[in-house]
Chain A
């Protein structure tokens, strides 16, 4: 589904290198978690995959479902089925959720050759998917993320994920700022969306989220590279020992 090879990325503005030869392969239907200390490059990876401006790819490649991802504009990536749940969802004052999702869903479905949903069907779908993350259906007339609580914003991201039905979803620190109840709601929502045809890349700082969204693989990202890969038990080990022991180990290897 997604294959990243030797990815080097710098910040366009000042040339600082953030990702320094990252390799990662995510198969169809798999759930991969990426963990790492602050500043290791986790959010940069999410942004670069989604096609955000402001980064320079100096080397490497990303193949997404057989196509060169890095050649695509951000909106095309989304239409091809790549979704990013934002760590800090953006507010769009005066733009209703219904209007926003109508445009988003329509452009994505059109690109994928699916038939356009009628206004009625779209609203029905919104109601159904909103229930997944316990959002009130009245959300449709609210402005996108404006006046949403922190928890609502995160649930709204998962709701949009459900609406757009992507092949590949990146969750960028979706757990940050959530209390335990909200975390459970978000995780339940995500779990209900797991399927053999959808892959997930779950980026998180803490192991806690992975108690609920159990990954197939856990990777440790440090200093712009994946330095260790394991099963779900690796997350527990990290929780217990912190990241320092890996630092020591990889220093030994280097």
Chain B
């Protein structure tokens, strides 16, 4: 790279986070620290039934035993500073717990926040018909379009509300795909999860709108422990969108979410994410630790779960949206773009666990690293003994912007059935000086050339996103690349 290109890439890689601001809404916080009392406090605050409290407490005890054994996950290609779990406040809810008839009653501060994020809630409602369940800090603030959903028997509400209104469903499915014993952060989440979303699509219903939830951390020093549960019955379909931007912070914030998806016979779930949590400043100070457990089970025959993600934020990302392909002929997909810059670290990928016959999975992962960042793909494909005729195709491409960043690929293949077929392709490329020169020779500026090339690289993934989300995704990538020039 020429000095010029290197300098520009450096500027790109250190560009400031554009969504750094704090909304001034009073909130109610739990006392700092983690104990059985904290768990009881959260459960009581949310007026939960006894069985759920018991479940939380079991999770808490499991978490404590892992802590005592020193079993924090350390296998990823990440350097995670020691987290003081006693220095975190585990519950925060906006003080004015609102129940709105219309958005006009919503705290104007909040609406303003969304405006600055470029998410005009009203516009979205009217023009796009997206149902937005806005999670601000930990408690659901608005849920809209419920009438339309009700008509189809669809349940889409905050997790807390679901616990009150549909306890039988929660009791049946909570922890089914991600038990609290699954891993360290899943245990923590299960003990202290504050809120999240619940989605239930009854038999034979194609959800008429894309369900969308915007998560947002807004309270200094507050951990965010979301819990999402999606259950799709026989022959049903839902497309679920999750997007996040977080305000600028000086201290690290822990985000340990759990998402569980259950797809019955012939059901299909499309789960799309744009993740743009605060990544920390140019020196790597501050920023979100994003330690997420996302997993879906294709419980029924011919069911399908598809994960699409654009990961641009967080100082550390540790995330492997996975599929358990239990039903025969079920399908799992994972499409990912992970962009890291500055001192961001990402270790992300998927697990495709083939149990049923004729199951197939596709993995396409694109990692883009800039600045001093480290970007790893880690993926497991397991063909169990019963996975007759299992198929997998994996493609992992990495692109480097500059020469101070790293890209890594860790594929794990476990094939226990001789009829299974697994293909894996991996490439690493540098944004070529030749490519940039070619664009410049056509009058395109260097930064626009980099944007074009990176967008081209990600094209097949972004094309998987629902239309309006794809536009947001491209904008986000462009902003991320723009840097201080542009």
Binding site for B on A (CB under 8 A): 50-54, 73-75, 77-79, 83-84, 86, 89-95, 99-101, 103-104, 107-108, 111, 143, 160, 164
CA distance A50 to B436 in the complex (A): 13
| Minimum distance in angstroms from B46 CB to a CB of chain A | 46
Residue on B nearest A85 in the bound complex, by CB: B441
In the complex, the answer to whether B440 meets A74 with C-beta atoms within 8 Å is yes
Q: Which 5 A-B pairs have the closest CB atoms?
A: A94-B456, A95-B456, A104-B442, A94-B459, A53-B2
In the complex, the answer to whether B440 meets A100 with C-beta atoms within 8 Å is no
Q: Beyond A93-B457, A94-B459, is A100–B442 a contact (Cβ under 8 Å)? A: yes
Flag B448-466 by CB within 8 Å of A: 1 or 0 each. Answer: 1000110111111000000
Residue on B nearest A80 in the bound complex, by CB: B443
In the complex, the answer to whether A90 meets B460 with C-beta atoms within 8 Å is no
Which chain A residues border B457 with CB–CB below 8 Å? 93-94
Q: Beyond A93-B456, A94-B455, A94-B456, is A84–B2 a contact (Cβ under 8 Å)? A: no
10 contacts between A and B (CB under 8 A): A51-B441, A53-B433, A73-B4, A74-B441, A91-B435, A92-B435, A94-B455, A95-B456, A103-B448, A108-B442
Residue on A nearest B446 in the bound complex, by CB: A75
Which chain B residues border A77 with CB–CB below 8 Å? 441
Flag B405-443 by CB within 8 Å of A: 1 or 0 each. Answer: 000000000000000000000000000111101111111
Residue on A nearest B434 in the bound complex, by CB: A90
CA distance A78 to B439 in the complex (A): 10
| B72 interface residue (CB < 8 Å to A) | no
Which chain B residues border A78 with CB–CB below 8 Å? 440-443
Which chain A residues border B441 with CB–CB below 8 Å? 50-51, 74-75, 77-78, 83-84, 86
Q: Beyond A75-B443, A75-B445, A100-B452, is A52–B437 a contact (Cβ under 8 Å)? A: yes
CA distance A103 to B449 in the complex (A): 9
SS class, residues of chain B in contact with chain A:
helix
Which chain B residues border A100 with CB–CB below 8 Å? 439, 442, 444, 452
| Minimum distance in angstroms from B269 CB to a CB of chain A | 27
Residue on A nearest B432 in the bound complex, by CB: A90
CA distance A100 to B439 in the complex (A): 8
Residue on A nearest B460 in the bound complex, by CB: A94
| Minimum distance in angstroms from B401 CB to a CB of chain A | 15
Which chain A residues border B453 with CB–CB below 8 Å? 92, 95
Given contacts A94-B460, A108-B443, 11 further A-B contacts (CB under 8 A): A50-B437, A50-B441, A53-B5, A73-B440, A75-B440, A75-B445, A84-B441, A93-B457, A160-B442, A164-B442, A164-B443
CA distance A5 to B94 in the complex (A): 73
> Contact partner of A75 among B444, B456, B458, B459, CB < 8 A?
B444
CA distance A78 to B448 in the complex (A): 15
| Minimum distance in angstroms from A133 CB to a CB of chain B | 17
| Minimum distance in angstroms from B470 CB to a CB of chain A | 14
Residue on A nearest B4 in the bound complex, by CB: A53
Which chain A residues border B434 with CB–CB below 8 Å? 90
In the complex, the answer to whether B437 meets A74 with C-beta atoms within 8 Å is yes
Which chain A residues border B459 with CB–CB below 8 Å? 94
Residue on B nearest A54 in the bound complex, by CB: B2
Which chain B residues border A51 with CB–CB below 8 Å? 440-441
Size of chain B's interface in residues, with CB distance under 8 A?
Answer: 26
In the complex, the answer to whether B452 meets A103 with C-beta atoms within 8 Å is yes
CA distance A164 to B440 in the complex (A): 13
Most chain A C-beta atoms within 10 Å of own C-beta, residue among B437, B438, B442, B459: B442
Q: Beyond A94-B455, A94-B457, A143-B456, is A104–B443 a contact (Cβ under 8 Å)? A: yes
| Minimum distance in angstroms from B180 CB to a CB of chain A | 42
Residue on B nearest A79 in the bound complex, by CB: B443
In the complex, the answer to whether B437 meets A53 with C-beta atoms within 8 Å is yes
Which chain A residues border B444 with CB–CB below 8 Å? 75, 100, 103-104, 107
| Minimum distance in angstroms from B250 CB to a CB of chain A | 38
| Minimum distance in angstroms from A25 CB to a CB of chain B | 23
CA distance A137 to B165 in the complex (A): 58
Question: Which B residues from 77 to 127 make CB contacts under 8 A with A?
Answer: none
> Contact partner of B438 among A83, A89, A99, CB < 8 A?
A89
Most chain B C-beta atoms within 10 Å of own C-beta, residue among A51, A91, A95, A100: A95
| Minimum distance in angstroms from A191 CB to a CB of chain B | 22
Residue on B nearest A112 in the bound complex, by CB: B443
> Contact partner of A95 among B4, B452, B460, CB < 8 A?
B452
Which chain A residues border B4 with CB–CB below 8 Å? 53, 73
Q: Beyond A53-B437, A54-B2, is A92–B445 a contact (Cβ under 8 Å)? A: no
Residue on B nearest A86 in the bound complex, by CB: B438
CA distance A94 to B437 in the complex (A): 17
CA distance A74 to B448 in the complex (A): 14
Which chain A residues border B458 with CB–CB below 8 Å? 94
CA distance A82 to B446 in the complex (A): 17
In the complex, the answer to whether A90 meets B438 with C-beta atoms within 8 Å is yes
CA distance A107 to B443 in the complex (A): 6
| Minimum distance in angstroms from B5 CB to a CB of chain A | 8
Residue on B nearest A47 in the bound complex, by CB: B437
Which chain B residues border A108 with CB–CB below 8 Å? 442-443
Which chain B residues border A53 with CB–CB below 8 Å? 2, 4-5, 433, 437
CA distance A95 to B436 in the complex (A): 13
Which chain B residues border A160 with CB–CB below 8 Å? 442
Which chain A residues border B448 with CB–CB below 8 Å? 103, 107
CA distance A104 to B445 in the complex (A): 9
CA distance A51 to B2 in the complex (A): 12
| Minimum distance in angstroms from B427 CB to a CB of chain A | 10
Most chain A C-beta atoms within 10 Å of own C-beta, residue among B435, B443, B457, B458: B443
CA distance A164 to B444 in the complex (A): 12
Which chain B residues border A54 with CB–CB below 8 Å? 2, 433
| Minimum distance in angstroms from A146 CB to a CB of chain B | 9
| Minimum distance in angstroms from B7 CB to a CB of chain A | 12
CA distance A54 to B437 in the complex (A): 11
CA distance A20 to B396 in the complex (A): 47
Flag B5-18 by CB within 8 Å of A: 1 or 0 each. Answer: 10000000000000
Flag B179-221 by CB within 8 Å of A: 1 or 0 each. Answer: 0000000000000000000000000000000000000000000
